[in-house]
Amino acid sequence: MQNQYYRKTYIDINAKICYINIMERIFLRETKEEKLSFVVEKQKIGVVGISRSAGTTLIATSIAKSLSSVEGRKVTFLEISDCLYENRPLLYDSIGVDKRFKAREFTRFYGKIIGGENIRGMSNPDEQISWAIITPEDTREALEPAPIEIVRLINNIQGDLIICDISECKRSEDYLLDMDMVIVVIDPMPSAMVAGYPFMREVKRLEYKGKKVVWIINKYNSGINKRELLSYLKLKDFYKIPFISADNFYSAEYNCKIPYEVKGVKEAMKETIEKIIKDEMLI
């Protein structure tokens, strides 16, 4: 007699009879099927200038501010530097962090990573952005984080969209390797481009190897010889940010604002910043 747990299947293949036994088992689901929830994958966007004063922080803070209005995204602004010397101008002072956090504690991330502390879950939220930036205490202590400490900061900071302002770094190229996308800011002044050419060449090498790179020419103005500019840079695609009058940036600092919050700055940058966010699928 045939075993009750099996059934025999007869298949005729080229006039040959095959017997296949298939086990008839019973499956009972014990719990109700539920939709799986997924953690949003962290995106790390590195913003770097090919020369000093290219406008890296302006671009990085503007992107962070624009993205902070997107519902469901947790934006973190991370300032990356491995040379925290005293008397350097600080974003901390520029946007008035001491005023913004007057009644709250501001976490010193650099002090914590150098001290070997666990930074997971820590944040400094203000206006939908968490700020992980260099403090006056960091520079007074002349902290010099090791590359491994910087990498630990990049990969353990809270947030699902990390905008990394990479400036005043001895080893910028190394930190770019940890980025999902690199935004390169160029000052079109000839002397600035000549000074930054070796670094730009390194970034182009990363781009050739498959790194996602976005190029921005900042301070774009009528004094530029466009033919010479394009011949020197040899870029296929790039975005342009127009030259913005300095009085807008003075106004921003005197009012403890991110420059992108000032009308003159936002009007000049909004279209390009939103196009970058849309084209590069940052939302």
SS3 state of residue 22: strand
How far is 215 from 201, CA to CA, in rounded Å?
13
Could you tell me which residue, 67 or 173, shows the higher pLDDT?
67
Condensed to tens digits (0 to 9), the pLDDT of residues 211-225 reads 999 999 999 999 999
Question: Is the model's pLDDT at 254 over the cut of 60?
Answer: yes
Q: DSSP assignment of 216-278, as one string?
A: EEEEE-TTS-HHHHHHHH--SS-EEEE---HHHHHHHHHTT--GGGSHHHHHHHHHHHHHHHH
pLDDT at 54: 96
Condensed to tens digits (0 to 9), the pLDDT of residues 167-204 reads 878 778 889 999 999 999 999 999 999 999 999 999 99
What is the side-by-side strand order in the sheet with 161-166?
125-126, 129-132, 75-80, 161-166, 43-49, 181-186, 212-220, 239-242
pLDDT at 72: 83
How do the residues of the chain divide into helix, strand and coil, expressed in percent and rounded to 5? 35, 20, 45
pLDDT band at 252; cut points 50, 70, 90: very high
E strands, 129-238, in order:
129-132, 161-166, 181-186, 212-220
In whole numbers, what is the pLDDT of the chain averaged over residues?
A: 88
pLDDT at 8: 53
Q: What is the mean pLDDT of residues 137-156?
A: 91
How far is 25 from 155, CA to CA, in rounded Å?
47
pLDDT at 37: 43
Q: Are 175 and 150 in contact (CB under 8 A)?
A: yes
Q: What is the mean pLDDT of residues 58-71?
A: 95
Domains of the chain in start order, with CATH, are 43-279 (3.40.50.300)
